[in-house]
Chain A
Amino acid sequence: MRKLLLLVLIPFLLLPGRIQAQGDATSYLDSLERKYSGLKDYTVDVLVHFDIEGFKAPDMQAKLYWKVPDKMKIESKRVFFLPKEGGFFNPSLFKKEDFEIKLLEHLTYENRKAVKLKLTPKKTKRMTQDVVLTIDTDRNLIKEMNISSFEGREVKALIQYAKFNDFELPTRIELHLDIPFNESRGIRDFDQSAQKTKRVTGKVEITYSNYRVNSGLRDETFKQTESPLSREGY
């Protein structure tokens, strides 16, 4: 009888601790949100360098415009590719109400106090399964992102910051891609078992310079003639 009582009581005894942990985890995202609440818009020059197997592209340059909450525009004279996951800095990307947040561990990252949070989207938008953030809690900065998708796509982003007009903004994002790809050889692949999923790995280095912060970008700036490929969903 006592054992049964204990079994019933244990979950109730542990629940406050669990709620406490959940609350702590949320507080880190709150701190991030507060830190960037004054950031209304920015303009930055972007340089993208690709080092991906089979991806023979030169370095690409563009000007990136961003405005709260999630307006983004790219201005480039030439063709420009930007990684979808972690390609640009959007402080309102991780809203606490959009994710189930779990504190994974406290750690030391680059000699500073840090935490690792696991964010699972409440709505499975864009096939993101979960995101693991490493947050420098001394400076309230996301230093590392590990994004995994249901399709087996793994993206790791390492972020370096510098201060511009009181805001610490990325100067370099290094993306490590590990993505699955079903390679088809057309007519020769009538045997479906021959179409093995290949994993493509590589690195994308994105360098940001010449930030202009809170310059009062108008909404009209983002009404561009869209390239058929720049729309969400393509």
Chain B
Amino acid sequence: MNLLWFEMVKTFSRWRTYIGFGFIALVVILTEVVMKLSAGEIVYRMMKSLQKDFLIFGNILNGWFVTTFIMNSLHIHIPFLIALVAGDMVSGEATSGTVRLLLIRPPSRYNIIAAKYVTALFYTAGLVIFLGLMCILPGLALFGSGDLILHHYGKFGLVFIPEVEIPLRMLFAFMAAVWSMTVVASIAFLLSTLVENSIGPIIGTMVVVIVFLVIGNFPFDFFHSLKPYLFTTYMVFWQRFLDDPIPWQEIARSAAFLGLHSIGLFFIASVAYGRKDIKS
């Protein structure tokens, strides 16, 4: 427990840890102000196909809609912010020359790596929760509350979520987002155990995420057949909590797939760290 506390203090006393929080605060507030100023245009674009057939009344552009809009826009960028810290968890010790000092202390390598991993997950959860709070609280203050109307781009129809159901669904959605991001943290963490500088794991993680996303979206049958095996396919399973009805089986399958990835990646990282020959 002391080891975990020690890792937490180390991580959260670095200024780099707060880059992600600062970025999120800046982007979310900026987005919400811009959305407030150009509300009509944004909603018009979102609901364009339905407006040919329906007159739409009421507060569609509310805090919940804004939260979903920002979440949809930012879920590609959040992995970079996570990699920024998780990719430095182990390799950072080598860069700063403290790795030998750390390993001559009584706790085993496995305890040390576990404490570092839990700290990386704590940071990941903190960042996603911060994103949620930054979206919801100013969103509700600026745009008010109301039913959530979601219209998927390029498709006819909509999903209507009554206002009373939204807080619980949002809670589940953000929990799912945290769960998805732990895979990104685990990749960055694994790469961090394999190298001795932090740039490699950060860039490496982003390369993996981007390549997987691109492969998953290429319009070729070969790539399309690979899609079910890519973790990025399941990373957006938080969106399923905003479907009607909620596809629980699909959610469970996605959560299990991502969970197995995280466990597997951590296992490889701990074995690699346990066998690592520390030369400097």
Contacts and interface: CB of A to CB of B under 8 A. Distances in A.
B58 A181 contact: no
A227 B158 contact: no
Contact residues on B (Cβ < 8 Å of other chain), bracket:
20 to 34
Contact of A82 (B54, B60, B153, B219): B54
A234 B44 contact: yes
Nearest to A62: B57
Given A187-B219, A229-B47, A81 B54 contact: yes
Nearest to B55: A82
Contacts of B158: 54-57
A187 B156 contact: no
A55 B146 CA distance: 19
B66 interface: no
Interface stretch (B23-31, B117-125, B159-167): B159-167
Contacts of B219: 187-191
Interface in A63-105: 74, 76, 78-85, 87
Contacts of A187: 217, 219
A228 interface: yes
A177 interface: yes
A79 B55 contact: no
Contacts of B226: none
A49 to B, nearest CB: 13
Contacts of B162: 58
Contact residues on A (Cβ < 8 Å of other chain), bracket:
35 or more
B269 interface: no
Contact of A234 (B51, B147, B156): B51
B43 A79 contact: no
A85 B60 CA distance: 21
Interface in A138-157: 151, 153
Nearest to B163: A78
Contact of B53 (A177, A198, A227, A228): A177
Given A56-B244, A227-B58, A229-B47, A83 B217 contact: no
Nearest to B48: A234
A184 interface: yes
B61 interface: yes
Nearest to B154: A184
Given A56-B157, A56-B244, A78 B58 contact: yes
Contacts of A56: 157-160, 244
Contacts of B40: 228-229, 234
A46 B61 CA distance: 23
B52 interface: yes
A186 interface: yes
Contacts of A74: 55, 57
B59 interface: yes
**Residue with the highest number of chain A CB atoms closer than 10 Å, among B39, B154, B159, B162:** B154
A177 B58 CA distance: 23
A44 B134 CA distance: 41
A54 B50 CA distance: 12
Contacts of B149: 79
Contacts of B147: 78-79
Contacts of A87: 55
B154 A81 contact: no
Contacts of B217: 186-188
What are the nearest 10 A-B pairs in CB distance?
A54-B157, A184-B154, A228-B40, A79-B58, A229-B56, A57-B160, A181-B156, A80-B57, A56-B244, A188-B219
20 contacts: A53-B157, A54-B156, A56-B157, A58-B162, A79-B149, A79-B160, A81-B54, A84-B52, A153-B53, A188-B219, A189-B219, A200-B156, A200-B157, A227-B57, A227-B59, A228-B39, A228-B40, A229-B40, A229-B51, A229-B56
Given A79-B146, A186-B217, A227-B59, 4 more contacts: A78-B146, A85-B53, A188-B219, A234-B56
